[in-house]
Structure 1
Amino acid sequence: MSYSNPLHPAVPASKQSTYNSLSASMASTSSSSGSTSRRRRVPHNISPKFRLSSRPQAPVAFDCQGYPGAGMPMREIYARGEFALVQMMDKGAERVMALAQNGLRRICLVMSWPGYEHLECVFPIDLVTPAGYITRVQLAAIVTNAYVKFIERAQNERSTSPEWQFHARGIQFTQLSLLSLTHLSEDAWKAEVAVDF
């Protein structure tokens, strides 16, 4: 997926090369499937104790500027500093006031992954710092770091779903995009994640 990076000026079309080292393989792929990339949302099979028992709250989206609904690659969130991410993420500097309006000072990120249901866990996230409520970028960084820890643990465990398995020839962290944080119940939230296959 390509997106605009406000940290570097765009290369004018007149100076862009049409050469691609993968052109030969991509030509055969695109003709058969119509697309060179498959993106799929990660299905959730979260335990019943986290099912909606209160009024649902609006999701918190994490999008690259100019690409609504596309999410933000987790590798970018993990590798870049807060200043750079604020420039790249839509409403990145905005404080997560949607959560503040409901009086939440802390939420629980419920993490589950197909084939690793036995590793379902909860990461507490403090929404308030001495400076006030955290920003959208800070929340994205916390969620991304939780995924890094979860994946490190999952790589040492057996998966019951080969399609969604984390390993060298399976799914890797660099393929993940953080789309949003959605409400489950009370203070429990889950991350909506997409995988680029």
Structure 2
Amino acid sequence: MRGLLKIAPIIISATLLLCAAEVRTPLRPMYTADVAITSDGSLLLANKGTSEVTLLDKEGKRLHSWSTDEPPTGVIVVEGKAYVTSSYDRGHLTCIDLSDNSIKYSTRTGMGACAPTVSADQSKIYVLNRYKGTVSEVDAATGAVQREVKVLREPCDAALSPDGRYLYVNNYLPAQRADVDYVAADVSIID
């Protein structure tokens, strides 16, 4: 018991120091959820912890940042524009024009919006709405949702076929028993 009594003040002192450091430090952790590289080598970070997208130059200097209504979950760069998914309880796709740092549109897609993927001709952005169980096809120029496709369960990642015809969507946590020798994932294929 004596050993415990000697250690307790040290633990309390360390805790107080940590709490004091937290009070003096107004910064929140960035918790980068995704990263993309621009044509000039700058980095775009989707920072879930601060609910912002940050543009850094090659040396790591902050050039610009944009606040998002919900924590960003994914980012891609296509032809000088950043397409950012964000979600907490709604889900959005936001288009940022990197030439003038302006937000062109923010379109509501679905809960759990993540993993933006561009079509082969770059005219569409696919948004995986993880908790809605759908994939939204969004017009890249206008932000209009062109269609929404139901998938098996919790879409979380996607890849386009080499010819651009099919979108392969990984479904997280497929509905099946998990107490067997293997647990398989399901893939949805969207034409």
Query: TM-score, structure 1 length as denominator?
Result: 0.20
Task: Pick the structure with greater CA Rg.
Answer: 2
Whichever structure has more helix as a proportion of its residues is: 1
Whichever structure has more strand as a proportion of its residues is: 2
Which structure's relative contact order is higher, taking Cα pairs within 8 Å and 6+ residues apart? 1
